[in-house]
Chain A
Amino acid sequence: MDTFTLIALSGLGLGALYFLLASGLSLIFGLMRVLSFAHGAFLTVAAFASWTVLRHAAAPSLGLLLVAVLVSSVAAGILALVTELTIIRPLKGKVLEQLLATAGLGLALVALLAAIWGPDEHMIPQPGWVTSTTQVAGAPIPNTRFLLIGAAAVTMVVIQACLSRTRAGLVIRAGVENAEMVAALGIDVKRSFTAVFTAGGMLAGLGGALAGSYYGGVSPYLGDQMLIFAFIVLIIGGLGSVQGALIAAVVLGLAQSLANYYVQNGVGDILVVALLVVTLLVRPQGLLGQKDRLV
């Protein structure tokens, strides 16, 4: 039972990490119909930003970790903003070109990070609380799991509050249905596109900072691994559905962790791909997606 609790909460932590990346991708696809392959690199840049803030501290405080999270989110947000203005916007409506351009940017950023800091993993010093454990039902749970689950829960609440209680959220919800009609009502949809892409980048940044805590280190290839699973979460949850992404992230994180532990290491990854295949065959629009947004 102790082991199950540990593995299950670790799975939820992993799912929370997937959600942080997938929620931004989901918002972006929902409004803009853009699949950004650069988001993995945004996450990696943010993780390196977090490492830069924390690397020289022998025993960083929780306050410094918070600073690192903020710096990471802002760095990824600025990167996303520049990407939207210089790549996504000029290629508006050209789906394949946008996809290739963001994939190219992702590759270039990873190569740049590897050229500057090398391809190897760098350990990130963590505050004492983060590296310690808390007993849950007799199991010692690493606090990073609670950190990730808490961050994902707060992110979900903030996204829902923004979507349901602000005018910007109203514009996004309407734009997801029909961006053309939103513009015909006199609303500058392009500004919403830029804001959502930037917010998606900041969520990737948050994920990057916390991924560094979860894995204890950062390498230029961190985001690439995460991006694959984030896209699977996105597809299983339903393209453009943040709630769907949350459900899929929890299911995938749990399934992956439990299968890797109880069956054999590596089986969890195969199970995730199997779930993707089953979803595409049985319900191609995903759990909460709409039928006009098939993969």
Chain B
Amino acid sequence: MNASRVLSEAEGTSAGGHALMTLTDVHAYIGRSHILNGVSFDVTAGQVTTIVGRNGVGKTSTLRSILGLMRRTGAIRLDGRDLAGLETHEIARLGVGYVPEDRDVFHGLTIAENLRLAERRGTAPDYDRVFELFPELKTRAGQRAGTLSGGQQQMLSLGRALLNENRLLLIDEPTKGLAPRLVREVVDTLARVASSASILLVEQSLAAARRLSDTVVVLSEGRVATRGPAAEILADEASMRRHLGVGES
């Protein structure tokens, strides 16, 4: 957790304050399968809100629903603006960055082309910030993304989302499938990013969630089982065992 956030909490105030995004009674579907069954929670501005839960409870579907990548009902508001009826690219242009579960970098494109593709019209791309966080993306700019290791692809996927000034970052399991050393690197980077961004994170690793989160939302069977301050929720081992099937990760 960053220093300013620790200070804010010590003072009894929230680092951000207002609800940047509000989900109200969101239902989502894949074909005839009902994936989300009335999910409601807020994402506070300037904080990291982490969704945890067992596999298949709807964590990724929640992020995809926000982006309009799934058929959904209910209300999703970004800074008060209803996202209903907006297409995925329009939601992204409102300032929503996305780092998907499988990175989804474009394998046939070079690193430079992947980043160039992410440049948004009307905003100046912040290459300095991206290359400061991930110097390798600059030195390997001409390399095809498909030839990168899993960790390097994760850096590219994160870099792509950080190239623009986003109001909210949706980051889906950034440590999934990475070696322990790379997990530490990614979590360190996310901690730095979190100091200046609002993040809705999906994370299976409780250690990473503890390090990064301000607020935790626990999903179970497509519903919010519980939510609250990360320190409180993640310390409840009985609840973690019940909802995640683990005591520690």
Contacts and interface: CB of A to CB of B under 8 A. Distances in A.
A67 interface: no
B109 A174 contact: yes
Given A173-B106, A177-B108, A188 B113 contact: no
Contacts of B106: 173-174, 177-178, 181
B117 A184 contact: no
A194 B197 CA distance: 36
B117 A170 contact: yes
Interface stretch (B33-41, B86-94, B224-232): B86-94
Interface of A: 167, 170-171, 173-174, 176-178, 180-190
A184 B107 CA distance: 16
Contacts of B92: 183-186
A189 B68 CA distance: 14
Nearest to B94: A186
A170 B116 contact: yes
A interface: dominant SS: helix
B192 interface: no
Contacts of A173: 106, 108-109, 113
B118 A185 contact: yes
Nearest to A182: B117
A34 B116 CA distance: 27
Chain B CB count within 10 A is highest, among A173, A182, A186, for A186
A184 B108 contact: no
A186 B93 contact: yes
Contact of B89 (A174, A177, A186): A186
B87 A183 contact: yes
Nearest to A176: B108
B100 interface: yes
B68 to A, nearest CB: 9
B160 interface: yes
B69 interface: yes
Most chain A beta-carbon contacts within 10 A, residue among B69, B88, B118: B88
A177 B107 contact: yes
A183 B104 CA distance: 12
A171 B116 CA distance: 10
A49 to B, nearest CB: 35
Contacts of A174: 106, 109, 113-114, 117
A146 to B, nearest CB: 34
Contacts of A180: 69, 88
Contacts of A171: 117
Contacts of A181: 100, 104, 106
B48 interface: no
